[in-house]
Structure 1
Amino acid sequence: MTNFVHCRGCGHQIHETAPTCPRCGAPQTLAGQGPATAQAPLSGGPSPYGSIPWFRQRWALVCMFLVFPPAAVVIAWSGEIYYLVGTTIKTFPKSAKIIMTVITALLLIALAGDDEAFQGFAGMTLIGGAVGLSIRK
């Protein structure tokens, strides 16, 4: 069985025996440690996400989605977005990225138009999407 883990630098999925990430070149093991494991229980470190960059974590994506949705969509499609379920790190499925993209397109179309009711609907859809992302299990 082939096991994959997430890169310590960029979050890309790589084979568990890879010494470095083929995408970003980040070393995958620290001195005195074995290879990292994906979906493993987390140790009590300063951050429950370990070495996953802040912009790849759910809380950052939700904040970006509320402030500037196009940036959140670009970050979501450029790599994996991670969230915690108990003590396990999981990734967002492609369907969540598609929903974010559709909501962002709806918002941009509404902002280009003059209909205030449609703009209000698009804004409420954006807020609903952010709430949905934040409570996703």
Structure 2
Amino acid sequence: MPGPVRAPAPHPAALTDTERHHVLSVLRQDRFVDKSPAHVWAVLLDEGRYLCSISTMYRILRANNEIRERRRQASHPPRARPELVATGPNQVFSWDITKLKGPHKGLYYDLMVMLDIFSRKVIHHKLVPESAVAAQVFMCE
């Protein structure tokens, strides 16, 4: 029977809590508060200071719930799904185009069908070689 499970030891190069608090205080400074960690890292490097990597800055901010998407987010209100109700035949129709294999490789046909939603009967159908023009003519018939 194996012994108790130990938690993995921290990496020797990992930042201490004091170092993490120092990085967080630098990121919270007024001059960096609106900048990305990559920008902060570059400015600090230009000043001759290296605190940690960019990804570590992101990890520290994420651990403190201080990182989020700052771009304006589009709101997508739920759209009402159209509901078609047929109380009798010949009120609402549905159509479908199905590809069918032909007798030779690479030859396909389009089966175009128009259905009555109320009675579920086929109103019109047509079998044609592949063609967008044929579909347009079918819908106009």
Q: Structure 2-normalised TM-score?
A: 0.21
Higher relative contact order (CA 8 A, sep 6+): 1
Larger radius of gyration: 2
Instruction: Name the one with the larger helix percent.
Output: 1
Instruction: Name the one with the larger strand percent.
Output: 2
